[in-house]
Amino acid sequence: MSGIVVYLPQGNDGVGEEPFGDAVTLRLGPGEMARFGRGSTATPVELRLVDPAISRLAGEIRVTDDHWQLSNHSAHQSYLVENPEGAGEYLRVPPRRAGAPIPFEFSRVVLPTRGDSTVSFQVFAPDHVYLDPDVMRAAAGRGGHGGHGGSRTVTAYSLDETATYFLVLVALCEPRLRDESPVAVPTTPEIVDRLKGHAACALLTARAVSSHIDYLAEEKMRITAPAECDPRRSARRNGKRETLVGLALRFGLVREEHLALLPPRFPAGTRKRETVR
């Protein structure tokens, strides 16, 4: 795993000693760590969580070669690590637990507070390692023993086909897979409308779709975007989408069989009624 991205949103509803600052994004590679908590001059932290119920040093995140770990420094409070795309799946990290391994690709770390709300931050681990299917078959033929020497083979583009970002990618690629348009790539509102019939995307917003596209481009496909100072913002966004679609189709990351993941394009009976009319 090449690393993780930690994101602390702006305005985390903490009831702290001073106003909460801007959003914070950290990129950590294997062997690196980040501490979180209220912090102080004597106890600096990389992620400052403003709430009096949170310890000065509440815990830390550490990245290993193939996953990341969470340590809970609290003596009394458990922390939750939620999988936002796992239908309620979560882990509870008890007080004083050190180095709890986290398996989720998307994670939301949630800390309890004195009020009704909670304080949370997000962790993205975009480069989970998957076994090479050919190596697995070869190992099975040998009774599961051994393999070729040397370093392991990793997937160039590690995509989770059960994740929402993959649905967004399929929706982007759909027109070209159906030979409907050699040029146009769906806009954000069109993707929201296309996916709203999917059970996992009923509450999907335009902002969330844009975030998924950015995640695909920057973390999954590692596309280099033009400089942020470029005044042609809409052109830059369209260029990113075009590049994503081109890369996904050229390398077979999205194929015709993936269209079955999308909701039906027309409600049942719609075409039939139109034909009769």
Asked if residue 43 is part of any domain, the answer here is: yes
pLDDT in tens, 120-165: 999 998 766 666 666 556 666 665 555 555 555 555 678 888 889 9
In sequence order, the 6+-apart residues with CB closer than 8 A to the CB of 157 are 220, 221, 247, 251, 253
What mean pLDDT is predicted for residues 213-220?
88
Place of tokens 């995509």: 159
Looking at 100, 124, 148, the residue that finishes a domain is: 124
Indicate the SS3 state at residue 82.
strand
61 to 102, 123, 253: CA distances (angstroms): 10, 10, 31
At 52, is the secondary structure helix, strand, or coil? coil
Same domain, yes or no: 17 and 118? yes
What the block records as the tokens of 66 is 């193939």
Residue range of the domain that includes 79: 4-124
The answer as to whether 138 is a domain residue is no
Tell me the CATH number at 51.
2.60.200.20
The pLDDT of residue 15 is above 60: no
Residues 175 and 120 in one domain: no
| Over residues 47-53, mean pLDDT | 89
Q: Which helix (H) or strand (E) holds 200?
A: none
